[in-house]
Amino acid sequence: MRHRNDKRATIRDVAKVAGVSPITASRAMQNSGKVRPATRQKVVDAARQLDYIPNLAAGTLATNASHLVAVILPNMSNSIFADTLQSISDSLRDSGYQLLVGYSDNSPELEESLVRTFLSRRADAIVLTGHVHSDQTNALLKSAAIPIVEMWSLNDEPLGACVGISNFDAAYSMTDYLCGKGHQKVGFIGGLLKNNDRTQSRLDGYRAALKAHKLQVDENLIRDVPFEFEDGARAMGELLADNQLDAVFAASDILALGALLECNRRNLRVPEDIAVAGFDDERLAKLIKPSLTTIGVPRRAIGEKVAGVVLAALRGEAETQRVFDMGFSLVERDSA
């Protein structure tokens, strides 16, 4: 119907064709139930005939509601976050919300600039990963007067709500488990400790568990590397070269898989020569040989809960709870 160089049809055009006022056309399009079915049909037909596409910028401006939920993740490559994101997205779609996703690359500055643009776009809610933010970011979020959810780590004083697991407890459990198996020299491979409260808490849990077992914390056994397979492999290589060790706990399966493959390459027997444990329960963890002992994290449940909290807040429901501990499980497999 419309031709290439026509301007887009507006709600006024639709109204004219349908023979109603613009505001009635608007109500009909939103299916608000305030319009007689016959009228609605006329409007819908007119809209179809004109290839009408509503302009959400105008709608956002008028209603002060963008139907956008902004999500900030540390990176694109970790499939853990992808799963959570997917489940947030699935849970919000039916309510008419769309995700606006940004990646902070673990940089507080980048995170701040993302928050700024999300506020500019008038996101209806903002979901962040972790609770380490710049002061400016905290100030922006506090004055924003929209629902804020921090996910993946727990925090007694969240900006808004907070949905995650106790990274400390999980790491403590795993380290405790390794020590319980008789390992005395347990290494730790962490990812990007700076600005990453998840890894930081996991390291703390590791330290605490060693102490509980009256074992010395040897700083030489602790590695802080980027978050890729290669880095896990390299860190494992270094640990093996420089130290005698029984076991390694990696704060992410990506690193653990890299470490495991490095052991394979060196023909080390896992877990006989060295035990390897991970964190996240990535899909590959149970397929690799030997299968990887790791921490299972309810990543889809986290996403669903985040979406639930956001929706409740957007509906204006009074909050009953601000901190949601989604729990973890120790998944015992063959590698440790």
Residues that bind DNA (CB under 7 A): 7-8, 10-12, 19-24, 26-27, 29-30, 33-36, 38-39, 52, 54-55, 58-59, 61-64
CB 110 to DNA: min, Å = 23
Partner whose binding site includes residue 51, from a second copy, DNA, none (CB under 5 to 8 Å by kind): a second copy
Selection from 172, 184, 176 nearest residue 244 by Cα: 184
Partner whose binding site includes residue 20, from a second copy, DNA, none (CB under 5 to 8 Å by kind): DNA
CB 127 to DNA: min, Å = 24
Closest to DNA by CB, 13 or 150: 13
Q: Identify the residue whose tokens are 């009408």.
A: 52
Partner whose binding site includes residue 229, from DNA, a second copy, none (CB under 5 to 8 Å by kind): a second copy
Binding site for a second copy (CB under 8 A): 2, 4-5, 51, 53-58, 60-61, 66, 76-77, 79, 82-83, 85-86, 89, 98-103, 116-117, 119-122, 142-143, 145, 228-230, 233, 257-258, 261, 264-265, 283-284, 287-289
Closest to DNA by CB, 140 or 330: 140
Q: How far apart are CA 26 and CA 11, in angstroms?
A: 7
Partner whose binding site includes residue 116, from a second copy, DNA, none (CB under 5 to 8 Å by kind): a second copy
Q: How far apart are CA 323 and CA 153, in angstroms?
A: 10
Enter the DSSP assignment of 221: G
**Nearest-10 crossing angle of helices 253-265, 229-242:** 60
Amino acid at 207: R
What contacts 310, CB < 8 A, 6 or more positions away? Answer: 69, 92, 97, 125, 127, 147, 149
Q: Taking the mean position of all CA atoms in its chain, how far away is CA 66?
A: 21
CB 286 to a second copy: min, Å = 9
CB 252 within 8 A of CB 227: yes
CB 107 within 8 A of CB 195: yes
Partner whose binding site includes residue 230, from a second copy, DNA, none (CB under 5 to 8 Å by kind): a second copy
